[in-house]
Amino acid sequence: MTGLVCTTPLSPVTQVYNSNNGEYEPDRSLTPTVIHPDVVAHAKDGSWKTPQANAQLANMVWKVNGVDITTLNAWQNYFSIETQGNNRGDITLTKNLTPGSYVELSFEAQLADDRLGVNIPIKCDPIILSTVDKSEDDYSMSIGDDQIIQYDPFKDLVHLYEYKRAHGLVLHNVNPHLYEDENSYERVIPITVYKGKDILPTTSYSVKLYQITGVVSGVAQLSELTTAADEIIDITSSGIALDLRLIAKRDYLIRARANGMDIAEKQFSVNRIYPKFTVRPTNGTSINPHDTERYDVAMVDCDGNMVPCPESIIKIIWKTDSASLSGVVHGEGDSIVFQLAKTGIGNTYLNDWLDVYCEGEQKEVMSVAIDENNDELTDEDGETLIFN
């Protein structure tokens, strides 16, 4: 797992240029910005001992708008790259950008795997550096959430309750909002716009939401989003509501507008988490001579806890190996009933063994269900159906 993180909260990736006094806030020549490539590695067999893998990085390259920073004259003497320890790969920036400009900063390297004697390519998604020209009115925006929002479906209690209710696994209906916490798929991002130190009333400005689709010649490419977009629940002057189940990774920009001009903006991103988990069968009973079928249930563990209703998050495939057949697929789900005749199990002491096992893969993001005419499908309440 990789990602770029700004480790200097007092010198973030967004600067403000004050045209009244010609000063930057912050001034990177005085308080540099540090970007850390967070490289975390693990092996399924547990042989990788140090999850934080920066110390094993090699052939590191930082790029500005896709070009190696070491080859750009405009950046010479304005950066340094850490080469030691867990902070290996960190880049320290002392350059103040031109007001109104955007720069896409990205990182590539190779991870030296001493176990296998190979180098694994590493590529982090880019991060945007920008400088906003501060107006005389001194507008600014804050969001009541992290600028990097992470969604872990294994921790979503609302999703779990709704799945149980839909499958008749709970005996009573309750309001799903009672299960809401910071891990819920419906995420409301509060917006506050300031003029100086004063909070502006939400009626004095409007808000637009954009997806950042890339950077061309230092300018961020924006695609405006409305509530017609699958993952957008609501857009108001007081906040943005998202359905995180429909997002794998996206970068967004919130922009406030008043009196015919853009007055403030804020960037944030959403990432889906894919934690490590284990899947194993639980039926340890023997197979009797006259048995024709076998029933089994999968147990899934994640982060030291048993995962309830794992089939809602994980694609679980059941397989068997016998003396005559290997890798026989019997079905998908958290439980299985399969025919023993299909396994190839024998009836002598040399071939009467059978290995039952599961292969699990976390399901991808959900998608909106559509028919052959590309019309969205809804339930009896008019709610759009989604699946994965």
Beta partners for residue 302, in sequence order: 277, 305
CATH homologous superfamily for 1-134?
A: Immunoglobulins (2.60.40.10)
Q: Is the pLDDT of residue 364 over 70?
A: yes
pLDDT at 245: 94
Q: Among 43-47, 194-198, 295-299, which range has the highest average pLDDT?
A: 295-299
What is the mean predicted confidence (pLDDT) over 114-130? 81
* Secondary structure (DSSP) of 81-93: E--SGGGTT-EEE
Distance separating alpha carbons of residues 26 and 137, to the nearest angstrom = 18
- Express each pLDDT in 50-68 by its tens digit: 667 788 888 999 999 999 9
Supply the mean pLDDT for the chain.
88
Beta partners for residue 209, in sequence order: 225, 254
Beta partners for residue 268, in sequence order: 252
What is the mean predicted confidence (pLDDT) over 333-357? 91
Beta partners for residue 194, in sequence order: 140, 199
Collapsed DSSP state (helix, strand, coil) of residue 185: coil
Spell out the long-range contacts of 302-310 with Cβ–Cβ below 8 A and sequence spacing 24 or more.
302/154, 302/275, 302/276, 302/277, 302/278, 303/154, 303/275, 307/154, 307/277, 308/160, 309/160, 309/163, 309/164, 309/167, 309/169, 309/334, 310/279, 310/334, 310/360
pLDDT at 196: 82
pLDDT at 379: 75
Distance separating alpha carbons of residues 385 and 7, to the nearest angstrom = 40
| Tokens standing for residue 142 | 């804050």
CATH homologous superfamily for 136-274?
A: Immunoglobulins (2.60.40.10)
pLDDT at 331: 95
- Express each pLDDT in 302-314 by its tens digit: 999 999 999 999 9
- Cβ atoms of 233 and 243 within 8 Å: the answer is yes
Beta partners for residue 4, in sequence order: 37
Instruction: Evaluate if pTM is beyond 0.95.
Output: no
First CA to last CA distance, the chain: 22
pLDDT at 172: 76
